[in-house]
Structure 1
Amino acid sequence: MSLLSIGKSGLLAAQVGLSTTGNNITNASVAGYSRQVAIQSDTGTQDMGFGFVGTGTDVVQVKRYYDDFLNNQLRGAETNKASLDTYYSQISQIDNLLADPTAGLSPAMQDFFNGVHDAASNPASAASRQAMLSSADSLAGRFQGLSARLSEIGDGVNSQITSTVTQINSYASQIAQLNDSISGLSSDPSKAPNDLLDHRDQLLTELNKLVKTTVIPGDNHMLTVSIGTGQPLVVGNHNYNLATTTSPTDVTRVTVGYQTGSVVNALPESVFAGGQLGGLLDFRSGALDKAQNELGQVAAGLVTAFNQQHHLGQDQNGAMGGDFFAPIQASVAASTRNSPLSTANVTAVVTDASALTASDYSVDYDGTNFYVTRQSDGTKTQINPFPQTGPQTIDGVDYTITGAPQPGDDFLVRPTVNAAASVKVVLSDRTKVALAAPIATAAPTTNAGTAKISAGSVDVNYLTPGNALTAPLTLTYNKAANSLSGFPATQDVTVTVNGVPTVYPAGTPSIPYTDGASISFGGISFSISGAPADNDTFTVGPNTAGVGDNRNGQLLAGLQTKNVLDGGNATFQSSYAQMVNFVGNKTREAQISGQASDAAVQQATAAQQSVSGVNLDEEAANLLRYQQAYQACGKVMQVASQLFDVLMNIGG
C-alpha cells in the first residue's frame, strides 16, 4: 500500500477519534451516557521481499464502556432509595399529625375526661353536665378530624399509585420499542448502537426508581424485564401493561394487576417490591392501615366501654342510662366477585372493648360453613351454628349472618378502620347523663348492731329483663343462725370471701353471714361488714333520690385510667401513645435507612462512573492526542505527495 494510503487511513482514524472524543465531551452531563472510545487496529502488512511493511490503520469499533454488574448494583441502590424516600415522605405526614400537641388526640381525651370528672364532682349542676356534653362533642370532632386526615393521605396514596403505574407502562413501552430498534441494528456483533443502548439503560434506571425489576439479556442486545418473582413487564419487543382497579372488597383501596382486555387481574402487593410503588404499598399496608385501625381501636374501645358503663347508670329522671355515643358499626364489604345468586348479608357490631383488636377480618363461605379469619395472624373461627340462632362474638365483635349464601362468598370486615370517623355523641339532653347508680342501700338507725352496708353497684346482668329492682328489698339478720334472709326467690346468690365465691341456688331461705363478704344477685353487688344484732335489717332498692348521686359518674371518670383495651392491659391514653410511638419509630427508622441508602447510591454511582463516566480532563488530553495524530497523518500525506511529484519529475 502507498504511503499516501497509510496517511489517509491514519487521518480517517484520527478524525473518528476526534469525533468520538468530542461526542464524549458534549454528552458528559447527559444522564445515562456511557463513555465511548474509538478502537483502532492495523490493516495488515505486505511482504516486500526484505520484510513486512505495514499498510495503515482502521477503526474496528467504537466501544462503549459499560459494566453490567456495576449498573445493576446502581439500579438496585436507587430502587431501594426511591422506596425509602417515598415511604418516609408519606409516614412523615402521619407522624406530624399525631405528634402535634394541639391537633393530636391526647389533649381532647384529657379535656373530655376532665369534663366527666367535673360532672361527677357536681352531679346536680346543669352547667357541669352541659360542659361534659360539650367536651364529648369536641372529642368526637377530634376523632373525626384525625380519621379524615388519614383518609386524605390514603386517597393521595391511591392517586400516586395510579400515576406511578402509568409511568411504569410508559417506560416499559419505550424499552420494548428500543429492544426492537436495537435488535434490528445489531446484526453485526462488532457494531452496537451505543446511544440507543445508553438510552435504554437510562429508561431501566428510571423504571427501577418506580419498581424493582430483574433484567435478563438476550440475543441481539435485547433485554427481558420482569418484576416480583418473574412476572414479565417487557419480553423482546412486547410490553405487558399494568393497570389499577379498586379492591373487590374495599372501594377506597386501589390495587395493581395486569390489564387483560377490560379486566384487571390483581397481583399480590409483594410483587411490587422496591421503588416508589413498593414504598407506597409498603406504607399503606404497614403504616397507614395500622394507624387507621389503631386509632379506630381507641375510638371504638372508648365508645363501647363508655356506653356500657353509662347504661348501668341512672339519669336525673330516674331512668337507666342510654347510649352516650353512637354504637360503632364495623365496616363490612361484600366482594364484587360474590355470586349474583347470593343473598348473604354480614353485620358486625363492636360490643367488647377489651377483646377488640386492630386487625381486619375476612368472612368466607366454603359451601357448608362460614369462617371468620383474623388477617393479622390467620386465626380462623367457625360461625357455629349456621344458620345462627343469635350473634356470635369474635374478638369483641358480634357477627350476624343472614340470607342464603353461595360457595365462595367473601366479605371483608374492618371493625376499627372507620370507628374514629363514626364517633358521635347521641345524647343531647343533659338531664339524661347517667351519673347516679340505679340502686340505693341503707341500714336503719334503729338497728342495734354495728354492721354497715356498702353503697352497692350493678353490672351488666342488672340490665337483664326481670333483674332490675322495682321495690326495696329487705334483708334480715338472724343471730341464732348467723344468716341473712329476704333474698329474691328467683335468683341465685353468690357470696365471695377472700376471692372464693360460693353460689346459693335461688330459693335458699337464708344465707350464712360472713363479715365483709361480697354479696351479689341479679347483677347487684354489695357487702355488709361489722357485727349485726338479731333482727337488724338492711335494704337494697331502686335509687329514688339520685339527683346528687355520682357513683356511676365516678365509674365513668375512672375509665380514663382503667386498663380497658388490649385484653385489659392498656388504657385509652397508653394505647394511643403506643400508636404514636410506633409511627414515630417507623418514621425515624425510614429516615435513618434513607440516609444509608443515599450513601449506597453515592458509592454505587462512583463505581459505575469510574467505568462509564466521562472524565473531561482525560477527554481534553485525548483531543490533543488525536489532533496531533491528525496533523501528523496530514504531514505523511503531504510528504507522500511531494515524493510522488519528485518521482514524476525524474521520470520526465
Structure 2
Amino acid sequence: MTSNLLSIGKSGLLAAQVGLSTTGHNITNANVDGYNRQVVLQQTAQFNNAGYGFVGNGTEVSQVKRQYDGFMAAQVNGAQATTSSLDAYYTQITQIDNMLADPTAGLSPAMADFFKGVQDFSSNPSSVSSRQALLSSANSLTARFQGLSARLTEIGDGVNSQITSNVKVINSYAKQIAELNTAITNLTVNESNQPNDLLDQRDQLITELNKYVKATVQPGAGNTISVSIGSGQPLVVGDKNFELATTPSPTDPNRLDVGYVTGSSVTKLSESSLSGGALGGLLEFRSGSLDRIQNSLGKVAIALASTFNEQHKLGQDLNGDMGGDFFKLPDPVIGADYRNNATSTTALSAKVSDPTKLTASDYAVKYDGTNYVVTRQSDGAKTTINPYPQTVPQTIDGVDFSITGTAAEGDNFMVRPTAHGASDLAVAITDRNKLAAGAPIATGAPVSNTGSGKLGAGSVDKAYLTPGNALTGTVTLTYDKATTSLSGFPAGQAVTVKGLNGATTTYPAGTANIPYTEGDSFSFGGINVNLTGAPAQGDKFTIAPNSGGVGDNRNAALLAGLQTKNILDGGKATFQGSYAETVSYVGNKTREVQVSGLASLALLQQTSTQQQAVSGVNLDEEAANLLRYQQAYQACGKVMQIASTLFDVVIGLGR
C-alpha cells in the first residue's frame, strides 16, 4: 500500500511538473506572433484490482494540446488577404490622387493657359508676341502631358518591382511550409502527440502568406497541409513546393505578368485568379485603375491634338498657305504576342479616325480560326472583323483597324490606341508665321448692289482640303429676282442649301440656278456661306481666295472655341470635362478603397480578437494556473512524504 501511495504521489508530482512547464511556456511565448496557447490534459492512470475493489494508481498526462480553431484561423487569413490587397491598392492610387489633385501640377491649369494663349492669338493674330506666346503655352501643355504620363509610367515600373518582390516572398514561404510539413510528419506520433510549436510556425507562415496572396489550405496525409492559390494552382503539396515567376507580358515587354512554373516553362496566370493579398491588390490596381488613368490622359491629349490639327489645317498662315499640323500625334501602340504562330504573316495597323468616339480601353485582337475578333478590355465587348480579308479598314470606337496577310489560329495582338497619347505628344510648329489664324476665303459685294442682301464672312470645312476644291479664282454669285435664285456656283460641285428651319436640299453639280430664301446657308466644295436680307435684281456677291488677310482671325476664333466645345465621349464632354471625369474617378476610387480598407481592417481586428479569445495567452489565467499547479505539486509532495512516513513505521514494527 505504501508503495502504491508513493507511486500515486509521484504521478501527481510529474503531472503538476508538466503543468508548470506548459504554463511557463505559455507565459514566455505570450508575445510571439502565431503562438497558440497550450493546455495539459490529464487522465486517470490504470487502476489495480485488489480483490476487495479497484484501487487507483494516480494520474498521467494524456496530451499537451494547443488551443487551435481552424475555422477562426481561416477567417483571420481571409480578412488578412483582403486587408493587404486594399492596402496595396490604396498605397498606389494615393500617389495618383495626390498628383492629379495638385492645383498647380495638374493638367487643368496647363490647358487653361494654352487656350488663353489661343484667345490672345485670336484677338491679335498679326502680333508676333501673341504668336510666340501661343507656341510657348503649347510647349508647356505638351510638357505637362508628358510629365504626368512619365509619373504614371514610374508608378507602373514600381508596381513591376513590387510584383517581383512579392513573388519572391511567396516562393520563400512556400518552401518553408513544405519543409515544416516534412518536419511535422516525422515528429507526429499520433493525433494526441504532435509538435505543437512547429504547427504554430506553419500556421503563422500561412497567415504571412495571405498578406501577399490569398491562399486556400486543405489538410493532407501525415499531418501535412496543401496550399493552393488562384484558381486552384497548388503552391505546396506535402513536402513539395511549387514556384511562381514573373514573366514579360506576351504583348508588352515593359509589363510583368505572374506565371506558374511547370518544369522549364512559365504559364501565365490570369490577373483575376490572383485575388487577395498585396500581389492581388497590385495587379488589380494596375489593370483596374493605372491603365484606365493613363489611357484617359492619352485620350484627352489625342482628342485635343486631333481636333486642333483639323481646325488649324482649315486656316491660312501669314505666308498665305493653308495651315499644317499644329501637334505631332502618336500612333496607337500595337503589341504582337511573341507566341504567335511562325507561319502567320498577319500585319495589323491601327489609326485614330474619330477622336470623339475614343474610349480609355485597350483592345485584344485575336484570330479564332475563322475570323479576327476585337475585344474591348474594359467591358469584354466583342466585334468581329467583317469581312475578312478586309477591303477597307473597319472602325471600332473611333479607331480604324487594318489587317493584312495570312492569319494562323491563335494569333493575338494588343492595341492600345491612347496609351502613348500623352507621353509622345509634341508641338509640330516652330515657325510662328505658320500659325493659321485666318480663313482661306474672303467674301464681298460690290457697292453697286441695291438690295439689302448681305453675304456672311464664310468658313471652310475639311472637304475644302480635297484636291480640286480650293479656290483659285473668284466665284461670283448673281441674284435673279424673277426666279428668286442665285447663279454662278462652280459647275463641277454640288450645292447644299440649308434653310432657317434646318431643312437641307442638295442640288447636283451643274445646276444653273439655286433657289434662295432669306437666311439660307450654301455649302459647296467645302465652302460654307450664309446670305441674309433681300437682294435686288442683279446683285452680286463674291467668294475669293483670302489674299493679304494678315489681320483675319476667323480660324483663330474657331480654334479658341474648341475649349468649350463638347467633343469627347460622343460629343458629351469638353477637354476639361473629360479630364475632370478622370480626376473625379481617381478621387472617388481612392476614397472607396480607403473606406473598404478601414472596414476590412476592422473585420480583421474583430476576427483576430475572437481567435485570440480562444487561442491566445491570457497572462492572468496563466498566473492562476501557476498557483494551481504549484499547490498540486506541493500536495503530491505531501502524499509522498506521508508514504515515506508510513514506510518507516512499517520498518520500525519489524525491529
Match among 138, 153, 156 for residue 155 of structure 2: 153
SS in 1 for 2:190: coil
**Deviation at residue 635 of structure 1 after TM alignment:** 1.9
Amino acid at match of 1:513: Y
The 3 A distance-change label for structure 1 pair 649 and 96 is: same
Unaligned runs of 5+ in 2: none
Q: Which moved more, 1:540-549 or 1:29-38?
A: 540-549
Alignment partner, residue 169 of structure 1 = 171
Amino acid at match of 2:64: V
**Deviation at residue 125 of structure 1 after TM alignment:** 0.3
Match among 177, 181, 184 for residue 182 of structure 1: 184
SS in 2 for 1:332: strand
| RMSD (CA atoms) | 1.4
Q: State yes or no: 1:545 paired with 2:548.
A: yes
Alignment partner, residue 39 of structure 1 = 41
**Deviation at residue 175 of structure 1 after TM alignment:** 1.1
Match among 103, 121, 128 for residue 101 of structure 1: 103
Amino acid at match of 1:610: A
Amino acid at match of 2:507: Y
Alignment partner, residue 194 of structure 1 = 196
Alignment partner, residue 537 of structure 2 = 534
Q: Which moved more, 1:354-363 or 1:128-137?
A: 354-363
The 3 A distance-change label for structure 1 pair 109 and 489 is: same
**Deviation at residue 581 of structure 1 after TM alignment:** 0.4
Alignment partner, residue 114 of structure 2 = 112
Give me the whole-angstrom Cα distance separating, in 1, the residues matched to 2:575 and 2:625.
Answer: 72
SS in 2 for 1:422: coil
**Deviation at residue 621 of structure 1 after TM alignment:** 1.1
SS in 2 for 1:209: coil
The 3 A distance-change label for structure 1 pair 47 and 378 is: closer
Q: Are the counterparts in 1 of residues 329 and 421 from structure 2 also a CA contact under 8 Å?
A: no
SS in 2 for 1:354: helix
SS in 1 for 2:564: coil
Give me the whole-angstrom Cα distance separating, in 2, the residues matched to 1:104 and 1:344.
Answer: 41
Q: State yes or no: 1:579 paired with 2:582.
A: yes
Match among 75, 78, 82 for residue 76 of structure 1: 78
Q: Deviations over 1:144-188 (max 9, x none)?
A: 000000000011111111111111111111111212221222242
Taking structure 2 as the reference length, what is the TM-score of the superposition? 0.97
Alignment partner, residue 5 of structure 2 = 3
Q: Deviations over 1:522-575 (max 9, x none)?
A: 111111111111111111111112110111101111110000100000000010
**Deviation at residue 384 of structure 1 after TM alignment:** 4.5
Alignment partner, residue 329 of structure 1 = 331
Q: Deviations over 1:34-93 (max 9, x none)?
A: 000111111032233443322111001001101111111111111111111111111100
Q: Are the counterparts in 1 of residues 461 and 527 from structure 2 also a CA contact under 8 Å?
A: yes
Alignment partner, residue 437 of structure 1 = 439
Give me the whole-angstrom Cα distance separating, in 2, the residues matched to 1:608 and 1:183.
Answer: 26
Alignment partner, residue 373 of structure 1 = 375
Alignment partner, residue 29 of structure 2 = 27
Q: State yes or no: 1:589 paired with 2:595.
A: no
Q: Are the counterparts in 2 of residues 440 and 541 from structure 1 also a CA contact under 8 Å?
A: yes
Q: State yes or no: 1:459 paired with 2:464.
A: no
Alignment partner, residue 524 of structure 1 = 527
SS in 2 for 1:421: coil
SS in 2 for 1:137: helix
Alignment of 1:452-531 (within 5 A): 452-497=454-499, 498-531=501-534
Give me the whole-angstrom Cα distance separating, in 1, the residues matched to 2:144 and 2:118.
Answer: 17
Give me the whole-angstrom Cα distance separating, in 2, the residues matched to 1:8 and 1:218.
Answer: 39
Give me the whole-angstrom Cα distance separating, in 2, the residues matched to 1:518 and 1:533.
Answer: 18
Taking structure 1 as the reference length, what is the TM-score of the superposition? 0.98
Match among 395, 398, 407 for residue 397 of structure 2: 395
Q: Are the counterparts in 1 of residues 65 and 192 from structure 2 also a CA contact under 8 Å?
A: no
SS in 2 for 1:313: coil
Q: Which moved more, 1:394-403 or 1:613-622?
A: 394-403
Q: Are the counterparts in 1 of residues 353 and 400 from structure 2 also a CA contact under 8 Å?
A: yes
Q: Deviations over 1:206-227 (max 9, x none)?
A: 0111111111123332212112
**Deviation at residue 351 of structure 1 after TM alignment:** 2.7
Alignment partner, residue 636 of structure 2 = 633
SS in 1 for 2:64: strand
Q: State yes or no: 1:206 paired with 2:193.
A: no
Alignment partner, residue 363 of structure 1 = 365
The 3 A distance-change label for structure 1 pair 309 and 86 is: same
SS in 1 for 2:145: helix
SS in 1 for 2:151: helix
Q: Are the counterparts in 1 of residues 520 and 531 from structure 2 also a CA contact under 8 Å?
A: yes
Give me the whole-angstrom Cα distance separating, in 2, the residues matched to 1:384 and 1:70.
Answer: 56
Unaligned runs of 5+ in 1: none
SS in 2 for 1:210: coil
Amino acid at match of 1:98: L
Identity over aligned pairs, percent: 65
**Deviation at residue 142 of structure 1 after TM alignment:** 0.2
Q: Are the counterparts in 2 of residues 312 and 463 from structure 1 also a CA contact under 8 Å?
A: yes
